[in-house]
Amino acid sequence: MSRSKLISNLTNNLTIIQAELWFIPFDIIMIICTSLTILLGILFLIICITNRTCWSIQMLLTCNICAAEVFLACVLLNMALFTFQKDLQLNMFSLTFCFAMGFCGYVADCAQNYSYLLIAIYRYISVVYPTRILWLSAKFQLVLILIQWIFCSLYVLPVFLTGHCTYNIDNQICQIPLSLSVPMVYVGTTIYFIPNFVVLFLYMKLTRYVHKISIRAIPANTLFHARRELRLIQRTLILSNTLIILGVPYALFMFISFFTTPPKYHFRIAYICVDLSLVIILVMLYYFTTPVKTIIVQKFTNRNAVEPIRQTART
């Protein structure tokens, strides 16, 4: 379907937008969640950039995760702001902006999931193939990050160029319609199934490897390193599974669409869960990233220690 045909069909089938009482509260919640995610993400990146203890390859890959989260939050914030504006005015989106945000949303969602995959691959290689210095080098990881972002920017282009992404007037969003179609299966497999399946596969492989070497006579530091990396991959798996769990409404509506028409406002319901998941993921990222957590704890403990000293000096 061409762009002109899409706009023509939209114009011909245009109906009056019905305002529901829960539209505005949902819009405000999405704006708050995405704004908080952006602030937390930018703070995380600033801490990593300004502290030498965070200058490592693993932290580089962690910052790649954070950058993908911030990019996705920026896209969702823009979508929420314009949805809020159009819900107040009860009119249509600007189609150009809508399609641009839809495209960026698919790119950011892809980058988010594949950033988890990159750090899982790095941790697996560091245990199983520790002598592969090139694979573990910063330059090689930067090349992989670049490839990740290029791939995520290109994979969805055929879907948009062939007109399979449409404007949903009830949800004020431009998305691939939920249905049993080739574009939906292609995007779902590329964004969600492949990266999450590979992360789970690497975790299972590394678990078996650590169990195998633990019964051998090997240096204690080698076993300690392997178990530590296994815990780190487990944390990556927890992050990706958190997205899956909080994305259950979207997956449920997708499953329903294979057999019948999903609820009228399915995208609004699904995306508020996505926005909430971003905040949770950022909080978990702070908790799981030991260097950043240590820096924050030191900042607060030093400040609390200085206050009694000042009060004693004054008395």
More confidently predicted of 166 and 11: 166
Whether pLDDT at 193 is above 70: yes
The reported pLDDT for the residue numbered 90 is 63
Residue with tokens 């990159």: 118
Domain, as residue range, for 143: 22-288
Least confident of 7-11, 40-44, 49-53, 79-83: 7-11
Question: What is d(CA 38, CA 52) in angstroms, rounded to the nearest whole number?
Answer: 23
Give the rounded distance of the alpha carbon of 18 from its chain centre. Answer: 31
SS3 173: strand
**Token pair listed for 238:** 């927890």
Give a yes or no: residue 198 inside a domain.
yes
Is pLDDT above 60 for 7?
A: no
Rounded to whole angstroms, how far apart are CA atoms 165 and 169?
A: 13
CATH number for the domain that contains residue 119: 1.20.1070.10
Residue 62 has pLDDT above 90, yes or no: yes
pLDDT tens for 78-109 read 988 888 887 777 665 567 778 888 899 999 99
User: In sequence order, which residues have a C-beta less than 8 Å from that of residue 273 and are 6 or more positions away?
Assistant: 246, 247, 248, 249, 250
Instruction: Indicate left, alpha or beta for 137 from its phi (over 0: left) and psi (-120 to 50: alpha).
Output: beta
Tell me whether residue 138 is in a domain.
yes
Structure tokens at 203: 């975790």
In this prediction, residue 88 carries a pLDDT of 78
Structural domain contains residue 132: yes
- φ and ψ at residue 95, rounded to 5 degrees: -60, -40
Residue-level pLDDT at 315 = 42
Would you say residue 8 lies in a domain? no
Would 211 be classed as within a structural domain?
Answer: yes
Query: What per-residue confidence (pLDDT) applies to 142?
Result: 95
Instruction: Confirm whether 194 is domain-assigned.
Output: yes
Whether the predicted pLDDT of 149 surpasses 50: yes
On whether residue 5 sits in a domain, the answer given is: no
pTM: predicted TM-score of the whole model, two decimal places: 0.83
**Phi, psi angle pair for 258, to nearest 5°:** -70, -20
**Radius of gyration, CA atoms only, the chain:** 23
Can you list the positions of beta strands (E) in the chain? 166-168, 173-175
As a whole number, the mean pLDDT across the chain is: 82
Q: How far is CA 1 from the centre of its chain?
A: 30
d(C-alpha 99, C-alpha 186), whole Å: 19
Quote the number of domains for the chain: 1
Among residues 11, 279, 314, the alpha carbon closest in space to that of 169 is found at 11
- Confidence band for 240, pLDDT divided at 50, 70 and 90: confident
Compute CA distances 32 → 36, 73, 270, 275, whole Å.
6, 11, 16, 9
For residue 135, give the 3-state DSSP assignment. Answer: coil
